[in-house]
């Protein structure tokens, strides 16, 4: 099963499931908005069903939200209403490849650990951003969680119950960002079975 097919298969359930840590979601959403400017062009990779894009697109000039799952994008477009900014667009695209778009800010929320070659994606994002551009991510750092996750997830993938998941720690993630050339401006660790590190990185 391809990655796109996996996410298409679970899209309806994904859309109906409540946000696991609503307080944490609101906290990081507000941190993102605080860093946005009205003239910014934002590229969101792995937007899922568009919940974050629909909330924050009004704060910027242009917003392109992409996901590799056509079904996720179909659901995102169905959420549009009269208050949705016209400049918010949803599109099917592989986040690892990056669409033809020149952003000031790139968002990858709950995505880096799902990309087979995270280092290549991070480097492409760095190269695409202008000087002073921001890369804002929230990433599961499974090596910092219970030991059994590293065993269970590959087994679930074998039977089609999980997508590709990379196993790394907070320290390893930060090293990857810095190796690509980013400067880390802010971090916030959200604890849980799968700890998630929220990072705001800048291209110097």
Phi and psi angles of residue 185, each rounded to the nearest 5 degrees, phi first: -90, -45
pLDDT at 22: 87
The strand ranges marked E within the chain are 41-45, 62-67, 88-92, 105-109, 134-140, 183-190, 196-202
User: For 161, which DSSP code?
Assistant: S
- pLDDT one-digit tens code per residue, 98-138: 888 999 999 999 999 999 899 999 999 999 999 999 999 99
Predicted pLDDT at 92: 95
Confirm whether pTM is higher than 0.85: yes
CA dist 181 → 75, 119, 124, 176 (Å): 35, 11, 11, 9
What are the residue ranges spanned by the domains of the chain? Answer: 3-202
What is the three-class DSSP state of 98?
coil
- Side-chain half-sphere exposure of 140, counting CA atoms within 13 A: 18
Ranges under pLDDT 70 in the chain: 95-96
Name which of 88, 139, 132 is nearest 114 in CA terms: 139
**DSSP tag of 84:** S
**In this structure, are residues 140 and 195 in contact, taking their beta carbons and an 8 Å threshold?**
yes
Residue with the two structure tokens 């490849």 = 97
CATH (one of 3.40.440.10, 3.40.449.10, 3.40.50.150, 3.40.250.10) for 3-202: 3.40.50.150
pLDDT, residue 106, reads 98
* pLDDT of res. 99: 87
């Amino acid at each position: 099963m391809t990655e796109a097919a996996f996410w298409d298969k679970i899209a309806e359930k994904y859309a109906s499931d409540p946000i696991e840590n609503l307080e944490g979601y609101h906290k990081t959403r507000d941190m993102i908005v605080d860093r946005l400017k009205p003239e910014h062009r934002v590229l969101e990779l792995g937007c899922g069903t568009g919940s974050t894009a629909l909330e924050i697109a009004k704060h910027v000039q242009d917003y392109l939200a992409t996901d590799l799952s056509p079904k996720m994008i179909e659901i995102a477009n169905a959420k549009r209403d009269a208050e949705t900014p016209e400049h918010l667009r949803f599109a099917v695209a592989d986040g690892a490849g990056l669409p033809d778009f020149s952003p000031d800010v790139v968002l990858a929320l709950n995505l880096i650990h799902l990309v087979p070659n995270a280092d290549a994606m991070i480097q492409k994002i760095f190269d695409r951003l202008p000087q002073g551009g921001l890369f804002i991510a929230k990433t599961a750092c499974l090596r910092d969680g219970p030991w059994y996750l590293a065993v269970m997830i590959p087994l679930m993938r074998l039977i089609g119950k999980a997508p590709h998941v990379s196993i790394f720690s907070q320290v390893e993630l930060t090293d990857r960002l810095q190796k690509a050339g980013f400067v880390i401006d802010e971090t916030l660790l959200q604890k849980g079975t799968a700890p998630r590190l929220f990072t705001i990185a800048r291209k110097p």
